[in-house]
Amino acid sequence: MTSGFRSSFRRLWARQLPYRAIKALPSVLGVLALPLVLVLMLRIGWFFLGIVLLVIILSLLITSFFPRPIGQHALESFLSSLLMWMILWFVLMALISLFMTMDWKPRATRFTVRYLHGPSSETVEAFIPDLILANADPITAVIRLNRTNTTVLYPITITFSLPAGLQTEAPDPQELTAALSDESPVLFLPLRGRVITEGLWSIQTLVLRLQNTSGAVREDRISVQLEGSWMATLRQALEGWRWGESMISMGIALVSAVGGLALQYVRERAERELRLQEHVNRAHNEFQRSFEERNFLAARNWLEQLKSPEWKDLISAAVLERMEHLIQAVEGRLSDQQLEDLLRDTARIWPKAAAVVFLHVAPLVSPQRRQVFRQLLWEDQLPPELQDEIARLNQQPLAPQPRRWPPADVLPRRRPRSRHLPESLSRQLNGVDPFPALRAEEEQDRLLDPARPAFWPHPLYERLIRSESPALVIGPPGSGRTAMALAIAQSLHLDIRRDLILYRPGEVERAEDLPEEFSRLILRFLLDHPTWLTTLDPKERSFIACFLKTAMHPEVVEAKVASTLSRLDNAQWLNEAQNKEQKDFWRQQARYGSTQFLREIQNTKAMELRAGTWPEAVTLCARILGFQQVRLVLDLESIPAAEQTIGTLKPMLISLLQAKLQWIMFLPQPWGEEIMLADQEELFWTREQLGEMIHHRYRMIIGEHRSLTEIMDEDGLDQMIKHALEDRREGAPSRLGRLWERVLETIPQDKVQITLEDVEKALNAPGS
């Protein structure tokens, strides 16, 4: 507490006291100079000069001490002025009291010696007071005979003729006669003053007549100052409250100076508040102008100035809150419900601001919300240009962000294993091998190329993508199970239906893994399509945020959305815009939608996910995002992995069926026990199907106008297909690829077309 007081005192001394002391210097000098001017007027007699100086100093005091009424009503102004003049009167009385204590009253106790010479060279010493107070106690003058310079010893008669303003206690107060001799050389003469003149003082003449026994007379005149009616009245009025002689008067003068400083501080504070109020009004007007001109950055700067500690008390808190909400609305930091409340309140008070907010957010929200927001505007009070802009809002809508799903990196990949082609065939095939690889992961890019997919749609594939029931697909290694699972997961059937598909190439150990992986897939879709968030209803957006926050770690979800929002200007999908206007529109949509979604994530509470509830939540999220079906594709390479996965899925099979979440499980061999409501399908190949598959691959990889007969005759191809179908323990596509590798190893480098003899030679080679 002590340190805080010291720091506050240091700031006060460093910032305020020197400045105020310098500005108060005229007031202090005026207070201290006023007694000096009165002394000049009364003692020296410079009356006219004193009057001029007195007027100047009083004017200085009035202008320095008293604040001008600022922003007051008539009664307040009258009371303030009355108080000012009462203080001024007190200050003047205090100064006069100080003058009387220090100068006027002491003069009445000081005596001036006058030497009077008698007719016979006698000397009479007259001790006359400098000032005689009116209507006060008598002051005794002393007359003394001095015979030092003469040897004549006889009495002298002295006669006093008093003016009208003086009187004695003798029977005749105006004239007194007494004798001075060696026996009584001293005469005491009590003098009492009377008020006979107006003003501050008057000069009275006292006549002294000396006469000796021989009749010789000597007359002399003495001037005496006598109080006037003004000074006598002031002195008598101040006698009642004066205490402590000069100390109390000096204290009153000091208090007057301090009072002058306080009044000056009040005046400066009032003037400062007036200047601040002018600045606040200007900043408020600039905010309105900037906001109506849609210069939101300048409006934000003016708002920050208004929120400063120095200004915020001069403007209503409700006004500041409304201004802050307007800026947050155009920055996309308000929810739809808050935005609706803001438009409803602002439209009544500031219709143009409500229209500006609507025009800014209307392209970013769904058409339903846009219609609700527009109904809140008071369009009849808007200028014609704003009305026309609102009317044109829906006439030429910009194209939305295209749907790009699934992304290429959502599926696992394996590094391809290259085959060595003979030099002649390599030139003919442009170095590309058209035959199947031993594993589908090695040629995933070829199989799933959106423009020219090398994957051939097997009849089983056609049944699976049209079915909504769970299925078990049985096929030996190399039969194309993984290729079919990848094709389903990559949604090559977009012309049939849009599905949200989770591809899982391994066993499922925990039931919690599936909702977490589905949530990552949904979050990835939202981050790749942030503009779609603006089209969602607030309840739908809140539900998705709640599910993601529950299935994943809340901090992870929030961090990913915030990271996408910070890197929005460099997003790759913005390059798909046809022009700058569309690009800016998409960026604005994405920023608004991501900001709203981030707020939903921060404000919503996590739900409780159980084995029976998460499938329905996933399905609902997918339907909100426009997916028609949710699929779980499990690609298992071994029976232990299948046993672990089926054991994990069994408790939630009913929930998966109720939520219409289809699962497809690919197994390397038939499953011993029956799984409820799951159709078991076998992946096998016929001669015709295998031939169509290899011809399809050749056209998609080498060129649609090309034919496989360019490098192989029909008999040789038929022999390879026949050999690939002989062993049911290995899939036909894999055996066909192995046979092709043997053929490449046995043919010469300059071979241009492979014949039946080349195929049989490869089949009969050692080790085959």
Q: What is the model's pLDDT at position 123?
A: 77
For residue 188, give every residue at least 6 positions away whose Cβ sits within 8 Å of its Cβ, in sequence order, or none. 140, 141, 142, 143
pLDDT digits (tens, 9 = 90+) for 277-308: 888 889 999 999 999 998 888 898 899 888 88
Minimum mean pLDDT range among 64-78, 102-116, 346-360, 732-746: 64-78
Top-confidence residue, 589 or 35: 589
The letter for the amino acid at 295 is: N
Task: For the beta carbon of residue 686, count every other beta carbon within 10 angstroms.
Answer: 12
Strands (E), 527-670: 629-635, 661-667
Q: Give the lowest-confidence range in 41-55, 103-117, 229-243, 739-753.
A: 41-55
Q: Could you give the CA distance from residue 719 to residue 763 in angstroms, rounded to a whole number?
A: 10
Determine contact, residues 232/197, Cβ cutoff 8 Å: no
Mean pLDDT value across residues 246-274: 61
Residue 655's pLDDT band (boundaries 50, 70, 90)? Answer: confident
Average pLDDT over residues 249-255: 53
Q: Where are the beta strands (DSSP E) in 212-322?
A: 217-227
Confidence of residue 397 (pLDDT cuts 50, 70, 90): low
Interatomic CA distance for residues 24 and 324, integer angstroms: 42
The predicted-structure confidence for 186-203, as pLDDT tens digits, reads as follows: 888 788 777 777 667 778
CA–CA gap between residue 412 and residue 470 (Å, rounded): 23
Query: Residue 244 — pLDDT band, cuts 50, 70, 90?
Result: very low
Assess contact for 114 and 146: CB atoms under 8 A: no
Q: Return phi, psi of residue 735, to 5°.
A: -65, -35
If one compares 339 and 124, the residue with the highest pLDDT of the two is 339
Integer Cα distance of 477 and 497 in angstroms: 29
Phi, psi dihedral angles at 142 (to 5 degrees): -120, 130
pLDDT at 5: 40
The residue written with tokens 């107006």 in the block is: 198
Place of tokens 């409500």: 354
Determine which helix (DSSP H) or strand (DSSP E) holds 624, and give its type and residue range.
Answer: helix 614-624
Which residues, including other chains, have CB under 8 Å from residue 495's CB and lie 6 or more apart? Answer: none
- pLDDT band with cut points at 50, 70 and 90 for residue 1: very low
Structure tokens at 118: 């008698």
Whether the Cβ atoms of residue 253 and residue 61 lie closer than 8 Å to each other? no
The single-letter code of the amino acid at 548 is L
Output helix, strand, coil percentages for the chain, rounded to the nearest 5: 55, 15, 30
Q: Tell me what the mean pLDDT of segment 339-353 comes to.
A: 91
Q: Identify whether the C-beta of residue 363 lies closer than 8 Å to the C-beta of residue 584.
A: no
Q: Dihedral angle at the C-alpha atoms of 45, 50, 52, 58, nearest 10 degrees?
A: -160
- Give 495-518 pLDDT, tens digit per residue: 556 789 999 988 888 888 899 999
Which amino acid would we find at residue 648? T
> 245 vs 633, which has greater pLDDT?
633
> What is the percent of the chain where pLDDT is above 70?
75
Start-end of H helices in 132-241: 229-239
Written as six digits, the tokens of 552 are: 């994943």
The answer to whether 631 and 663 are in contact (CB under 8 A) is yes
Residue type, 322: R
74-88, 111-125, 444-458: which has the minimum mean pLDDT? 74-88
Structure tokens at 247: 């100390």
The encoded tokens of residue 489 equal 């997961």
Band the pLDDT of 109: cuts 50, 70, 90.
Answer: confident
Identify any residues that bridge with 111 across adjacent strands, giving them in sequence order: 129
If phi over 0 gives left and psi between -120 and 50 gives alpha, with beta otherwise, what is residue 623? alpha
| Rounded (5°) CA angle 476-482-484 | 105
* Model pLDDT, residue 189: 79
Residues 314 and 316: their CA atoms lie apart, in Å, by: 7
Ramachandran category for residue 211: left, alpha or beta (phi over 0 → left; psi -120 to 50 → alpha): beta
Lowest pLDDT segment from 55-64, 101-110, 155-164, 597-606: 55-64
What are the Cα distances from residue 389, in Å, to 34, 393, 395, 427, 753?
A: 73, 6, 10, 63, 70
CA 103, 104, 108: angle at the middle one, nearest 5?
A: 110
The pTM of this model reads 0.59
